[in-house]
Amino acid sequence: ADLKVQRNAKYSLSDAPNSYEDITTYNNFYEFGLDKSDPAENSSRFKPAPWTVAVTGEAEHTGKFALEDLLKGHAIEERVYRLRCVEAWSMVIPWAGVPLADVLKRFKPTSKAKYVAFKTVLRPEEMPGQRSRSLDWPYVEGLRIDEAMHPLSLLAVGLYGKTLPNQNGAPLRLVTPWKYGFKGIKSIVEIRFTEKEPPTTWNISAPHEYGFYANVNPNVDHPRWSQARERKIGAGVFGSRVPTLMFNGYEQEVASLYKGMDLKKYY
């Protein structure tokens, strides 16, 4: 369905976005299979409505909320962000969503809320990938509270002015453009405020390859491949790789979050 969206120019790139076709047929969403084409092919049975999100943990207002209530009162913005996958390819995507901070603040997190943990829905009957043990289901992710409150962090509900297709994480997903794509947890059913750093799925699967922070960093390679350059989806057969930018090009906005941290250690 079409959404009423207003472009947020301050947080949008001037780069031309990838085609709707590329964005919706080339996906990593292991809940629907391991191949990039699997999510588009295997997600038609998934039911993104009605949808409820549980808000739990260190906050004054917790409980279960219908998605409509979670979004009520928030204007949906369009933001054209870079997306850099940990596999060294990238896209430009016109997301539609609301700033995560605006939603989180409504629950009044307490002083104990140092982190925010997210969980994906567990529905093996609708998500064939969850029937195999390729990862530890359900998928979980997390952010430090200051990362979650950063104005770039977006709770996306759509792309290209339409509601999110199932393969892109319907009906609600996280977008943190300065981090590798796997931080952008999809089909969120729980938001939990925690005092301790929450576990994250890829870190559980391969701790030496995927850290909690997962900030895009051309100077810290994945143990098995270089992160210095990336392939831009849509550049074609002869489009060569381009240099990857620190924090995926959002260095000015987010570098202060990591002041004094050794990014080789906290990868």
Partner 1 sequence: MPSSAVIRRVIKPALFVACALPLLSLVFAAFGIGGASLGANPVERIQDTFGQWGLRFLCITLAVTPVRDWFNMPWLVQLRRMLGLYAFFYVLMHFLTWLILDQGFYWSGILKDIGERPFITIGFSALVLLVPLAVTSTNKMMRRLGRRWKKLHRLIYLICLLAVWHYYWQVKSDVTEPLIYLAIVLVLLGWRAWKARPKPAATAVMEES
Q: Which residues are known binding-site members for Mo-molybdopterin?
A: 27, 30-31, 85, 120, 168, 173, 184-186
Using CB under 8 A, which of 241, 245, 251, 255 touches partner 1? Answer: 241
State the minimum distance, in angstroms, from the CB of residue 6 to partner 1: 28
- Number of CB atoms found within 10 A of residue 233's CB: 18
Site membership for partner 1, residue 134 (CB under 8 A): yes
Phi then psi for residue 98, to 5 deg, are: -125, 150
C-beta of residue 55 within 8 angstroms of C-beta of residue 106: no
Pairing between β-strand 173-175 and β-strand 154-159 as defined by DSSP bridges: antiparallel
Binding mask 5-24 for partner 1 (x = CB under 8 A): -------------x--xx--
Longest dimension (CA), the chain: 54
Site membership for partner 1, residue 26 (CB under 8 A): yes
Q: How far apart are CA 265 and CA 250, in angstroms?
A: 20
State the minimum distance, in angstroms, from the CB of residue 139 to partner 1: 12
Binding mask 156-195 for partner 1 (x = CB under 8 A): ----------------------------------------
State the minimum distance, in angstroms, from the CB of residue 153 to partner 1: 25
Q: Nearest 5 degrees, angle CA 80-CA 86-CA 206?
A: 140
Residue of 198, 171, 47 whose CA lies nearest to 98: 171
C-beta of residue 76 within 8 angstroms of C-beta of residue 157: yes
Taking the least distance from each CB to partner 1, the nearer of 26 and 247 is: 26
Site membership for partner 1, residue 234 (CB under 8 A): yes
Stretch of 48-56, 137-145, 185-193, 227-235 lying at the interface with partner 1 (CB under 8 A)? 227-235
Site membership for partner 1, residue 68 (CB under 8 A): no
Site membership for partner 1, residue 266 (CB under 8 A): no
DSSP 30-50: GGG-SSTTHHHHH-TT----S
| Cα distances (angstroms) measured from residue 264 to each of 79, 140, 201 | 30, 23, 20
Residues that bind partner 1 (CB under 8 A): 18, 21-22, 25-26, 30, 34, 36-37, 87, 89, 132, 134-135, 205-206, 224-226, 228-229, 231, 233-234, 236-238, 240-241
